[in-house]
Structure 1
Amino acid sequence: MYLADRSAPAGAKGAPDRGPARTPAVASAVLALGTVSLITDISSEMVTAVLPLYLVAGLGLSPLGFGALDGVYNGVSALVQLTGGHLADRVRNHKLIAGIGYGLSALCKPLLLLAHSLGPVGVVLALERTGKGLRTAPRDALISLSTPAGLQGRAFGVHRAMDTTGALLGPLAAFLILSVAVDGYDAVFGVSACVAVLGVVVLVLFVPGTSGPSGPAGSARPAGPPVPADTAPAAPAVGVREALALLRLPRLRALAGCAALLGLTTVSDAFVYLLLQRRTGIAEQWFPLLPLGTAAVFLLLAVPAGALADRIGRRTVFLAGHALLLTGYGLLLWAPGRPALPFLVLALHGMFYAATDGVLPAAVGAIVPRELRATGLALVGTGQALARFGCSLAFGAAWTFWGTGPALCAAAAGLLCSAAVAACVLRPAHPPHPTQSPRGTR
């Protein structure tokens, strides 16, 4: 995808060199990382698609037990994000730390073949999520550092669309394997391990490494020959003190606080699918296909939503996504359990992710210095993921003791109040000039 460069005047016919006519709207690094994420997500979503039924129906876990395990599955990743982001900035090699994370996740997939009770499964999932936590911030930093500020939403949208293609293919692969294999769950875990190794190979071979950061926050490195390492200006050392100093940025504090507040009322995807199954009576063999609805809508809208956020403001799109999620909660609570209900809820679920998943890191990238980009992304991502960890535990407990109706009512009321607070806190300090490219969470 390219955007025409209209800044240069048109030259006369026969001019020897008219300069570059087109500038790539999406860097090659973004496309390479998108390919890695596509392959890795096929592997991860194969497991995620069957995990709720495997644990609840196969191992007999209660909703509270599943909520605890789902919290571990996501909470461990959140805690490790800070380590991954800080290490990537400290060693100034985002690809190395991301590669370690992808490799660790790939190594853990075969261990699911040996785990048949809550304890071992929890340990394996915690290790796998450790790998995800290590790679998330360095990967997003690679995307942000290779993209101009005015196109960050589009770049993250392209990456998330490719990532979601994997999320679309993963459950489909799991469904096909379960329908033909005798030991369906073990076959899913084995194939998932092989696909994860392929993702690591693509990362090593095709994703470019990073050099020292330079330039203002959100800017792209100018075109031209690379600066030799021995003549490039040395970047300041990145330590814990520099990382903590990021919290002095008012916009980053506001963004991190609002992301965490909204995360406290964002029910886990697995619970949404389980609620849909119980409301509509979907047969167990069709359950792995439910994430396909979310993934398909996310895939279609990720790039348009990112481009829209670049144009009208990331704050607006981010909050609109949570309003769509609130509508989905309302349908799960009060709409009749008719055949159209799953399609409506899954469509709203996918629209929510399209409007938030790539828009949030794009907003962070616009306000954090280059040399601390991975750390800033990790700070916001960790707060949001820990909040969702708490929501998984609370919703599982509420479902166990009170039932699905009161639990989802509480989540919907909390999301409504949190979105109102976020709208006030994230309001723009100054109205942007009409010709300015949007930045941050306007």
Structure 2
Amino acid sequence: MKTITRTVWILSLVSLFTDMASEMLYPIMPIYLESIGFSILLIGVLEGLVEAVAGLSKGYFGQLSDSKAKRAPFVQLGYSFSALSKPMMAFFIYPLWIFFVRTVDRLGKGIRTGARDAMLSAETTKANKGKVFGFHRSMDTLGAVLGPALALLYLYFNPKDYINLFYIAFIPGVLAVVASFLLKDKKVETASKNVINKQPKKKIGFFSFIKYWKQSSSEYRKVVIGLLFFALFNSSDVFLLLKAKDAGLDDTWVIGIYIFYNLIFALTAYPLGSFADKIGLKKMFVFGLIIFSIVYFGMGLTTNLYAIIALFFGYGIFGAATEGISKAWITNLAKDENTATAIGTFTAFQSIVAMIASVVAGLLWFYFGASVTFFVTAIATVFVIIYFLGNASLNKIITQSQKTTK
């Protein structure tokens, strides 16, 4: 079986173009919103609400994708929503309109996530799953390098010209949508087809995906509990960037170090994913957590600029060793007909938990300072590492999985 298939290439290019468009705007979004009258509080409320909408929708649309036995339409619609939202930001500056546009953008992510990852999983075997998901994350993150770099270049020659940047970001967004229409669905068995007497399909409600938690295997729940506990302390990258700014970097260099982190991520995701197939997905994920805890302990201890740059290098390694790997791991624990639901359920809970994590981190930073924020996260991560290493059931699952691929 060819490891990087046509479908994997298309999905990876679609993600690259979409991330290029999104990350082109990510560094300037708070600046733009402030320039049109948004307070820091209103920006926080806006981003929190739209992320909650996106998070919950991942579970719903993942289950809907499994129910319909379709992947490509959800991928195409989701990326179309995200692309259309880019120029819409420049039309009006009213708060309700901005909220609507940001919701459309994040809803697009919710629609596509479960179906896209299920489509990726269908192109793999257990022997190459880490490599395929790693390749996809590598291409996706390459967009996070190119987008901010292009934004910096444009704003260097056109300072504060944010409006036109929204129109420019529409171009890679359109390329992503065009590429997504090259995707073709494979035949997907639905859970209902496997039920005796073919009982009528149950109506899918917005929160129906929560029921999957009870129906899923104990192995799935054990893994997801560990992942969610980690997500509860893995706050927004903004806090790391604030640390870099406190160390003496100006705004341009802060964006530069963000690009540097994404570049390391992009360069290492594929080889680490490939290596994960050899040593086991769990071992690679735990390796990433160890790097993460070192980075956060380091951020809490140092104010040295060069040390912080080195820690951002480590943070890129962490991302490469965990983001794609966690989804690959989850797909190994789900039946083919429930893959999108399994991914959607996890990412829905993860989005909500991540929002809580950023609020908690902000409160810790405000009341106790940056060092305490980073130390608490690092210590919590150590407990997650112990949880995964000490869970005999997980070890048994990985061992059995490796035996079946030999």
Indicate whether 1:264 and 2:232 are aligned: yes
Structure with the largest fraction of helix: 2
How far apart are the structure 2 equivalents of 1:409 and 1:57? 34
Of the three residues 319, 340, 345, the one matched with 1:353 is 319
Indicate whether 1:208 and 2:184 are aligned: yes
How far is 1:412 from its partner? 2.5
How far apart are the structure 2 equivalents of 1:56 and 1:406? 29
Could you tell me which residue of structure 1 aligns to residue 9 of structure 2? 31
How far is 1:28 from its partner? 1.2
Contact 2:21 2:173 (8 Å CA) reproduced:
yes
Q: Per the alignment, do residues 303 and 274 of structure 1 end up closer, same or farther by CA in structure 2, a change over 3 Å counting?
A: same
How far is 1:267 from its partner? 1.8
Contact 1:50 1:288 (8 Å CA) reproduced:
no
Structure-to-structure mapping, 1:6-155, within 5 angstroms: 23-54=1-32, 61-62=39-40, 67-114=44-91, 116=93, 120-155=97-132
How far apart are the structure 2 equivalents of 1:397 and 1:263? 17
How far is 1:58 from its partner? 7.9
Indicate whether 1:429 and 2:396 are aligned: yes
Deviations 1:35-73 (A, max 9, x none): 1111111001111122344457885744x6655444345
Q: Which runs of 5+ in 1 are unaligned?
A: 1-22, 216-232
How far is 1:288 from its partner? 2.4
How far apart are the structure 2 equivalents of 1:57 and 1:103? 28
Contact 2:60 2:209 (8 Å CA) reproduced:
no
Could you tell me which residue of structure 1 aligns to residue 357 of structure 2? 391
Larger radius of gyration: 1
Q: What's the TM-score, normalizing by structure 1?
A: 0.81
How far apart are the structure 1 equivalents of 2:309 and 2:405? 34
How far is 1:264 from its partner? 0.5
Contact 1:165 1:299 (8 Å CA) reproduced:
yes
Q: Per the alignment, do residues 148 and 433 of structure 1 end up closer, same or farther by CA in structure 2, a change over 3 Å counting?
A: closer
How far apart are the structure 1 equivalents of 2:189 and 2:123? 11
Percent identity over paired residues: 25
Q: Per the alignment, do residues 418 and 148 of structure 1 end up closer, same or farther by CA in structure 2, a change over 3 Å counting?
A: closer
How far is 1:276 from its partner? 1.2
How far is 1:164 from its partner? 1.3
Could you tell me which residue of structure 2 aligns to residue 175 of structure 1? 152
Q: Per the alignment, do residues 431 and 326 of structure 1 end up closer, same or farther by CA in structure 2, a change over 3 Å counting?
A: closer
How far is 1:176 from its partner? 0.8
Could you tell me which residue of structure 2 aligns to residue 379 of structure 1? 345
Deviations 1:341-393 (A, max 9, x none): 34212211111111111111111111211111110111122222221111112
Q: Per the alignment, do residues 332 and 30 of structure 1 end up closer, same or farther by CA in structure 2, a change over 3 Å counting?
A: same
Q: Per the alignment, do residues 37 and 435 of structure 1 end up closer, same or farther by CA in structure 2, a change over 3 Å counting?
A: closer
Q: How many residues are paired up?
A: 396
How far apart are the structure 2 equivalents of 1:385 and 1:163? 19
Deviations 1:280-323 (A, max 9, x none): 21112333222211211111111111112211111111122122
Could you tell me which residue of structure 2 aligns to residue 320 of structure 1? 287
Of the three residues 332, 338, 345, the one matched with 2:299 is 332
Could you tell me which residue of structure 2 aligns to residue 274 of structure 1? 242
How far apart are the structure 2 equivalents of 1:70 and 1:272? 18
Of the three residues 369, 383, 395, the one matched with 1:417 is 383
How far apart are the structure 1 equivalents of 2:338 and 2:373? 39
How far apart are the structure 2 equivalents of 1:244 and 1:434? 26
Deviations 1:4-59 (A, max 9, x none): xxxxxxxxxxxxxxxxxxx3122211111001111111001111122344457885
How far apart are the structure 2 equivalents of 1:158 and 1:75? 28
Q: What's the TM-score, normalizing by structure 2?
A: 0.88
Q: Please state whether the residue corresponding to 2:143 is helix, strand or coil.
A: helix
Q: Per the alignment, do residues 326 and 75 of structure 1 end up closer, same or farther by CA in structure 2, a change over 3 Å counting?
A: farther
Indicate whether 1:364 and 2:309 are aligned: no
How far apart are the structure 2 equivalents of 1:411 and 1:125? 29
| 1:406 partner letter | V
Q: Per the alignment, do residues 58 and 421 of structure 1 end up closer, same or farther by CA in structure 2, a change over 3 Å counting?
A: farther
Q: Per the alignment, do residues 121 and 290 of structure 1 end up closer, same or farther by CA in structure 2, a change over 3 Å counting?
A: farther
- Worse-superposed segment, 317-326 or 50-59: 50-59
Contact 2:280 2:402 (8 Å CA) reproduced:
no
CA RMSD of aligned residues (A): 2.8
Could you tell me which residue of structure 2 aligns to residue 286 of structure 1? 253
Contact 2:210 2:345 (8 Å CA) reproduced:
no
Contact 2:17 2:172 (8 Å CA) reproduced:
yes
Q: Please state whether the residue corresponding to 1:49 is helix, strand or coil.
A: coil
| 1:259 partner letter | L
Q: Per the alignment, do residues 430 and 24 of structure 1 end up closer, same or farther by CA in structure 2, a change over 3 Å counting?
A: closer
Q: Which runs of 5+ in 2 are unaligned?
A: none
How far apart are the structure 2 equivalents of 1:257 and 1:51? 33
Contact 1:310 1:438 (8 Å CA) reproduced:
no
How far apart are the structure 1 equivalents of 2:11 and 2:398? 34
How far apart are the structure 2 equivalents of 1:358 and 1:391? 21
| 1:253 partner letter | R
How far apart are the structure 2 equivalents of 1:26 and 1:266? 31
How far is 1:433 from its partner? 6.9
How far apart are the structure 2 equivalents of 1:152 and 1:394? 34
| 1:169 partner letter | L
How far apart are the structure 1 equivalents of 2:49 and 2:243? 20
Q: Please state whether the residue corresponding to 2:26 is helix, strand or coil.
A: helix
Q: Per the alignment, do residues 397 and 29 of structure 1 end up closer, same or farther by CA in structure 2, a change over 3 Å counting?
A: same
